[in-house]
Amino acid sequence: MILKEHEIKYIFNPSVLLPGDILLMNTYEERLRKMMKCKYEHAAIYLGDAYMMEANGLYVKMTHLYSYAFKELEHAIVLRLKDLSPIKMDRITRASHYQMGKQYVHTSMFRHVREFKNTKEQDTSKRSFCSRLVAQSYALEGVKIVPNADYCEPDDFLESSLLECVKDAIIPFSSEMTKVVMCQQKAREEYEADSPNAELFTELSKLYGTDIQELGQVFLASFSQKEKNKHAIDIIRASRMFKHLEDVNKSMPWFWKNEDFFAHYKNTEEELHFLYSQMNHYDNTFIPRYKELFLQMLVLAYYFPKNGLLNFMREHIKKMVDDAIKCRKRMAELFFATFQHDKEGFCMFVDKYGFYIGVEYVETPIDIGFLFDDVMKALSELENK
């Protein structure tokens, strides 16, 4: 549900959140809450950089933190693992990233949740829902926060002895946040059904004749049905997935010309809010994750040089990384252009919010420790096949 401005009293506080935190919320779907007889009917996992991963009723998607707002303080809560390890939490959030594009379970599945939540019953559908997404992201890294990661409800996390409440995670809504919160709520509503990942997986499922819900399953299918890999490449090439520059050009046609950029925003403060948010998002989410995916493709293509699909994906993902870096460098150009365009407004903004550290894009090393774990898992699966 999209709240009207006068209804909003509280929002999440990203300044105290950490990647891997569990977000529980009341989304004002009263029919669902009455049916579930719960305090919170939705759960998501915080990724950092003001983004969360959620199963929204259609797919697993990445959503902005401010796309949800609340009428009362008790309508949301944030839980955190007591035994907090940065490496462990990074792997948990990565596990949630790997699930992006998964389809939502059939609604008939929910009749079994309470029946199976305290059993060892497993679901083989490969699909997800909100609390399952969170629990499975933890379970994939060996952290059992609920008895059964396949069958659980948002309120079950409240009872976990491994989790604790995060103080000051929900804060009062302020008028200066109105534009971003209302815009993000609108964006969530408009793009709820949009998932290039899910569209691609659907087409590849038809091609390989198997239910594909994750990228890793595509590669497994490519080994067992090599004769279909050329067709798979055509499908991937034609899809919207991994096409960062096309997405930017479609959503921000004003991005590449200074005069168009300045005409798009009302004032310098709005321009700099956009640039600060986007530079932070590229520096901490987009580019690092894209680079990690490229490294995975690089390693897999090295070990399996005869797999045409892997070799194609290596180059395809490399282009996506290059495009993201191109966009990030353009943001630095716009930052300095904004100073030249309105020096007084620029200085007022910096005095209020501070100067963005590292405006110029600088190549930074990627911790490849995660690769060893991922590659070993992938090789083990291939051997079992």
Q: What is the pLDDT of residues 114-134, one digit of tens each?
A: 999 999 999 988 899 999 999
* Better-scored residue on pLDDT, 368 or 295: 295
Average pLDDT, the chain: 92
Same domain, 102 and 213: no
Q: Which two tokens stand for residue 374?
A: 């991922």
Residue 383: the pLDDT is 66
Amino acid at 202: T
Q: How far is Cα 221 from Cα 26, in angstroms, rounded to an integer?
A: 39
Domain stops at, among 123, 138, 168? 168
Same domain, 68 and 95: yes
Q: Which two tokens stand for residue 76?
A: 């949301």
Secondary structure (3-state) at 84: coil
Q: How far is Cα 236 from Cα 316, in angstroms, rounded to an integer?
A: 9
Q: Which two tokens stand for residue 334?
A: 């716009």
Secondary structure (3-state) at 102: coil
Q: What is the mean pLDDT of residues 165-174?
A: 96
Residue 234, pLDDT > 80, answer yes
Q: What is the mean pLDDT of residues 265-270?
A: 92
Same domain, 252 and 157: no
Residue 382: the pLDDT is 61
Q: What is the mean pLDDT of residues 268-276?
A: 94
Confidence of residue 80 (pLDDT cuts 50, 70, 90): very high
Residue 289: give the domain boundaries. 177-384
Q: Which residues of 161-175 are buried (b: 16+ CB within 10 A; e: fewer)?
A: eebeebeebbeebee
For the chain, the domain total comes to 2
Residue 111: the pLDDT is 85
Same domain, 78 and 222: no
| Digit-coded pLDDT (tens) for 31-46 | 877 777 889 999 999 9
Domain stops at, among 149, 168, 187? 168
The pLDDT > 90 percentage for the chain reads 76
Partnered with residue 53 across adjacent β-strands are 45, 62
Residue 385, pLDDT > 60, answer no
CB under 8 Å, gap of 24 or more: what pairs does 374-383 form? 374/296, 375/296, 375/299, 375/300, 375/303, 378/216, 378/219, 378/300, 379/303, 381/216, 381/220, 382/220, 382/223
Q: Residue 36 maps to which CATH number? A: 3.90.1720.10
Domain stops at, among 168, 194, 224? 168
Secondary structure (3-state) at 58: coil
Q: Which residues of 10-41 are buried (b: 16+ CB within 10 A; e: fewer)?
A: bbbbbeebbbbbbbbbbbbeeeebeebebebb
Reported pTM: 0.89
Residue 366: the pLDDT is 81
| Digit-coded pLDDT (tens) for 274-302 | 999 999 999 999 999 999 999 989 988 99
